[in-house]
């Protein structure tokens, strides 16, 4: 009897629990259906976009919200920086910068509407009963057509291939020479990624932006130090002079003379003679008549302009800190040598008595490279070899005992027609000048020279035509 009572009680309790469970489930389903009915075509509760609550909002309301927010981007501009300089600017209008509210609304609307049955009802339940929060991020979109076009133009402008070194020696001269040079490549892919990040950052900082366009160095495969046995590894120094106002014959002569030095090697420990390398200067070796100073007059003579070459080499030797064994200043202040320099930084030559001599006291051979820029009227001497610890100090020129130019001179010229007057020399003030030249090896002063020039006053010279 007692056992039957216990069984009855257990069954009653089970029935009661099932009943309550069914009621709870029914109530839950009822509440669920009521809540879901209120949703209809709106976003489910507990859905956020950019931490903004959009539960019970329609897709249209989300789109409208982000359209208004896009208006705040209209004044934004992006400055592109390359090597610390601005090179381009893109406005929000050019990029068509805006929030993609439509995509954000579609993603939010899919909560509770998944095509996967278990996922769909799971999302419905946890959303409607506030058991889980769903977070989404909007995207700021833009048209990158102009941006990519800019990168293409930048690559054409800035990309440089690396160049391998060249060194070919024949018949006592280097006939093919080029020091290796690094290349450069614009980091276009990285820039686009950085631009995307910068656009995304506008959500937190709605202000004008700067985006850096980076580049990478491309290393050559062959270095100069690896392809010669002369110890020539690097650039040492350069000399430069400006030959503006030179007549064509003078330009021809200095070009011819400079070519004699291109590729010449100066052995370690050896003295170098300008006259020895330049050789015979006459019409027989290709020089043209140009105006030279002879016996105190400006006259036509073979090789006018060669001193532009010796002056440029002199400047290169000074900048390299080489010993200057022999150097002679011009008799007067020649305008060509003061186009880009102070008085006294010149060296005249006149074989066989007047020469320019320097010494190579560097750790290896020195290779001479010459270049003529006829567009800018510039002559270059570049020296390559191996550096050591020397440091060079060259003072500015001190000019004193200045006297005015002499009276103008007029000289008959049978190569010009009568009635034609041509100025071939310009007045020059007479003066004295010097500059100091010091070379240090570490802390030790190894060279301490003064280079003096004594310039006579000079007259303007005019050639007067006498030919019929």
Domain ranges of the chain: 34-141, 146-192+202-218, 229-467
Residue whose entry in the numeric block shows the structure tokens 């280097």: 174
> DSSP readout, 269-309?
T-EEEHHHHH---SGGGT--EEEEEETTEEEEEETTTHHHH
Cβ neighbors of 39 (< 8 A, separation 6 or more) are: 56, 112, 128
Q: Average of pLDDT values for 283-309?
A: 78
- Residue 364 tokens read as 């290896």
Quickly state the pLDDT bin for 423 (edges 50, 70, 90). Answer: confident
- Residue 127 tokens read as 């959303």
CA distances, 211 to each of 198, 349, 431 (Å) = 7, 56, 56
Alpha-helical segments (H) within 40-130? 59-71, 92-95, 101-109, 117-128
Beta bridge partners of 234: 385
Q: Average of pLDDT values for 254-268?
A: 94
Q: Which pLDDT does position 401 carry in this prediction?
A: 96
- Predicted TM-score of the model (pTM): 0.66
- Residue-wise pLDDT tens digits, 138-172: 999 999 999 999 999 999 999 999 999 988 888 78
- Residue-wise pLDDT tens digits, 204-248: 888 999 999 999 999 998 899 888 989 999 999 999 999 999 989
CA distances, 104 to each of 64, 99, 101, 135, 137 (Å) = 12, 9, 5, 11, 7
Residue whose entry in the numeric block shows the structure tokens 């009661």: 16
Count other Cβ atoms within 10 Å, centred on residue 200. Answer: 13
Closest CA to 247 of 376, 377, 343, 348: 377
Q: Which pLDDT does position 309 carry in this prediction?
A: 97
Report the mean per-residue pLDDT for the chain.
89
């Amino acid at each position: 009897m007692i056992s039957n009572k216990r069984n009855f009680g257990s069954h009653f309790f089970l029935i009661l629990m099932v009943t309550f469970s069914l009621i709870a489930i029914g109530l839950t389903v009822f509440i669920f259906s009521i809540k879901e009915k209120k949703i209809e075509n709106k976003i489910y509760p507990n859905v956020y976009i950019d931490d903004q609550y959009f539960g019970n909002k329609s897709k249209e309301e989300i789109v409208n919200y982000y359209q208004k927010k896009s208006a705040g981007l209209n004044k934004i501009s992006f400055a592109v920086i390359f090597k610390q300089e601005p090179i381009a600017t893109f406005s929000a209008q050019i990029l068509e910068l805006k929030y993609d509210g439509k995509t954000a609304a579609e993603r939010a609307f899919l909560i509770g509407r998944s095509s996967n049955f278990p996922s769909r009802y799971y999302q419905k339940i946890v959303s409607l009963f506030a058991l889980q929060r769903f977070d989404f991020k909007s995207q700021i979109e833009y048209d990158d057509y102009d941006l990519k076009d800019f990168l293409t133009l930048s690559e054409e402008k800035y990309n440089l291939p690396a160049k391998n070194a060249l060194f070919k020696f024949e018949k006592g001269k280097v006939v093919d020479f080029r020091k290796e040079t690094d290349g450069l490549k614009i980091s276009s892919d990285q820039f686009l990624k950085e631009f995307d990040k910068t656009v995304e950052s506008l959500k937190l900082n709605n202000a004008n932006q700067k985006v850096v366009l980076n580049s990478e160095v491309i290393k050559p495969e062959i270095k100069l130090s690896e392809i010669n046995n002369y110890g020539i590894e690097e650039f040492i120094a350069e000399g430069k002079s400006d030959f503006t106002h030179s007549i064509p014959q003078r330009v021809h002569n200095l070009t011819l003379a400079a070519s004699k030095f291109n590729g010449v090697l100066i052995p370690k420990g050896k003295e170098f003679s300008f006259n020895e390398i330049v050789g015979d200067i006459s019409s027989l070796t290709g020089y043209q008549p140009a105006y030279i100073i002879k016996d105190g007059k400006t006259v036509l003579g073979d090789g006018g302009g060669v001193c532009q070459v010796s002056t440029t080499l002199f400047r290169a030797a000074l900048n390299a800190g080489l010993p200057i064994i022999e150097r002679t200043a011009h008799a007067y202040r020649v305008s060509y040598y003061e186009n880009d320099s102070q008085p006294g930084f010149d060296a005249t030559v006149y074989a066989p008595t007047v020469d320019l001599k320097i010494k190579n006291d560097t750790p290896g051979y020195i290779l001479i490279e010459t270049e003529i820029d006829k567009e800018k009227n510039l002559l270059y001497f570049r020296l390559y070899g191996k550096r050591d610890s020397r440091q060079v100090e060259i003072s500015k020129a001190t000019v004193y005992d200045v006297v005015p130019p002499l009276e103008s001179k007029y000289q008959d010229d049978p190569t010009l027609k009568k009635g034609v007057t041509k100025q071939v020399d310009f007045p020059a003030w007479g003066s004295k000048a010097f500059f100091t030249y010091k070379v240090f090896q570490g802390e030790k002063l190894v060279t301490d020279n003064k280079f003096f020039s004594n310039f006579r006053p000079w007259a303007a010279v005019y050639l007067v035509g006498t030919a019929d």
